[in-house]
Amino acid sequence: MNDTSEYWPSLPFGEWTDTAETLHMWTQIVGKIRLTLTPWVNHSWHVTLYVTSRGLTTSPIPHGVRTFEITFDFIDHQLRIDTSDGERRSIDLKPRSVADFYRVVMKTLDELHLAVSINKMPNEIPEPIPFDEDEEHRSYDREYANRFWRVLVQSDRVFKEFRSRFCGKCSPVHFFWGSFDLAVTRFSGRPAPPHPGGIPHLPDAITREAYSQEVSSLGFWPGNAVAPTPIFYSYAYPEPPGFPEAKVQPAAAFYEPKFREFMLPYENVRTAEKPDEVLLEFAQSTYDAASTLGKWDRAALEEVKPSLHSTHLHP
C-alpha cells in the first residue's frame, strides 16, 4: 500500500456488491428526475451527474421559473434537495429498499411543489425491476459508498487534467447513472457510422445519437457481479483498423475484445508510486492510438497552453 491509499482506496467489488447495486438504482432514480425536466443536450449530456467535494450532484434542474438540485452526500450520508427559493430537505442514506427510496424522494419533491413523473424501469441492466417494486436491493454500507466516491474524486480530478489538453469538442467529465461509470469523451469533429445499438433497456435511437460522431472515450467503471474488477477503460468509436494491436501504456493495460476497450485495472493505478502519472499515461497513449490510427486532425484539436510568463493576464 502506498502513501496515497487514503485518496485512492481499495475498492474490491465483491466486498460491496449489494451496496453498489442498490446505489446504482438510487442514482438512476435521481438521474431520471434530471432527464425528465432538463432540456435535451447532444449525446445525453443533460442526464448525467457530476462529482462534488462531498458526493454526486445533478446540478440545477429547471422546474418552471424555479430550479432545484439533488445531491448525494457521501460524507454525511444524506440525499439533499435544495431549491432556488431557499428550501432544503434531507433524506438519510441508509439501508433501505429501492422502492422505499423512490417513494421518499418523490414524496419529498411533492412537498416542495416539484412534482415530476419518471419512467420507473431501470436502464442498461438485465432483468430490471421497476423502482417502485424493487424490494430486493436494499443495502447501504457507508464505508464503501464513501470509498467509491473517493475514487470518483481522484478520477474526476485526473480526467479534468487530461481534458485540458484538448481544444476540440469534448464532453464534461460526468457520471452516467445508466452504466454507472465516470467518463470524458473527445470528438474528432467528423460523423460516425450508425451504432449497432443493442444495449439492454436503452432505445437504439439514444445510443445512435450518442455515437453519431467519432469519439475517443476515457472512463472509470467500478465493476459488476459478472466482471468484478474495477477498471479504467478507453475505447474508440468507430474503432480504427489496428486499434486492438496498438501499443499502449502502462504495461498492465490490455485490450479486451469482448468490450472492444483497452482496460487498466484500478488496482494498478492506486498502488502505483505516482497514480496520476500512470492514469494520464494510459489516457494519453490510448487517445494517441485512437486519433492517429483514425487519422484525426490532431494539430487542430490539441491545446497549446500560453506561458504565464509571457502572457499579460491583467492590463
Q: Which amino acid is at 295?
A: K
- 84 grid coordinates: 432556488
Which of 77, 99, 133 delimits the end of a domain? Answer: 133
Q: Which amino acid is at 134?
A: D
Helix ranges (DSSP H) in the chain: 17-37, 98-111, 142-163, 204-210, 266-270, 275-293, 298-301
Helix ranges (DSSP H) in 189-296: 204-210, 266-270, 275-293
Residue 1 has pLDDT above 50, yes or no: no
Q: What is the pLDDT of residue 307?
A: 61
Q: What is the pLDDT of residue 185?
A: 98
Residues 128, 161 within the same domain: no
pLDDT in tens, 225-246: 999 999 999 999 999 999 999 9
The total of structural domains in the chain comes to 2
Mean pLDDT confidence for 72-89: 98
Residue 8, in any domain of the structure: no
Give the structural domain span for 26.
Answer: 13-133
Which pTM value belongs to this model? 0.94
Residues 120, 236 within the same domain: no
Residue 1, in any domain of the structure: no
Q: What is the pLDDT of residue 131?
A: 98
Residues 17, 76 within the same domain: yes
pLDDT in tens, 92-130: 999 999 999 999 999 999 999 999 999 999 999 999 999
Residue 309 has pLDDT above 80, yes or no: no
Which of 99, 133, 167 delimits the end of a domain? Answer: 133
Which of 105, 133, 161 delimits the end of a domain? Answer: 133
Residue 310, in any domain of the structure: no
Residues 114, 84 within the same domain: yes
Mean pLDDT confidence for 22-43: 98
pLDDT band at 29 (very low <50, low <70, confident <90, very high): very high
Residue 139, in any domain of the structure: no
Residues 86, 201 within the same domain: no
CB 221 within 8 A of CB 230: yes
CB 203 within 8 A of CB 35: no
User: Which of 231, 224, 216 shows the shortest CA–CA distance to 279?
Assistant: 231
Write out the E strands in the chain.
Answer: 50-51, 55-57, 61-63, 66-73, 78-83, 88-92, 174-176, 181-191, 213-221, 231-237, 254-256, 261-265
Q: What is the pLDDT of residue 130?
A: 98
Question: How much of the chain, in percent, has pLDDT values that exceed 90?
Answer: 94
pLDDT band at 273 (very low <50, low <70, confident <90, very high): very high
Residue 205, in any domain of the structure: yes
Residues 86, 166 within the same domain: no
| Buried-state track 43-66, b at ≥16 Cβ within 10 A, e below 16 | bbeebbbbbbebbbbbbebebeee
Residue 175, in any domain of the structure: yes
Residues 53, 184 within the same domain: no
Residues 117, 188 within the same domain: no
Q: What is the pLDDT of residue 2?
A: 46
Residue 285, in any domain of the structure: yes
Residue 142, in any domain of the structure: no
CB 246 within 8 A of CB 287: no
In angstroms and rounded to an integer, the radius of gyration of the C-alpha atoms of the chain is 20
CA angle 143, 147, 153 (to 5 degrees): 145
Residues 116, 174 within the same domain: no
Q: What is the pLDDT of residue 3?
A: 57
Residues 98, 155 within the same domain: no
In whole angstroms, give the CA distance from residue 213 to residue 140: 38
Residues 260, 294 within the same domain: yes
CB 174 within 8 A of CB 183: yes
Residues 284, 211 within the same domain: yes
In the chain, % helix, strand, coil (3-state, to 5) comes to 35, 20, 45
List residues bridging with 262 in a β-sheet: 234, 255
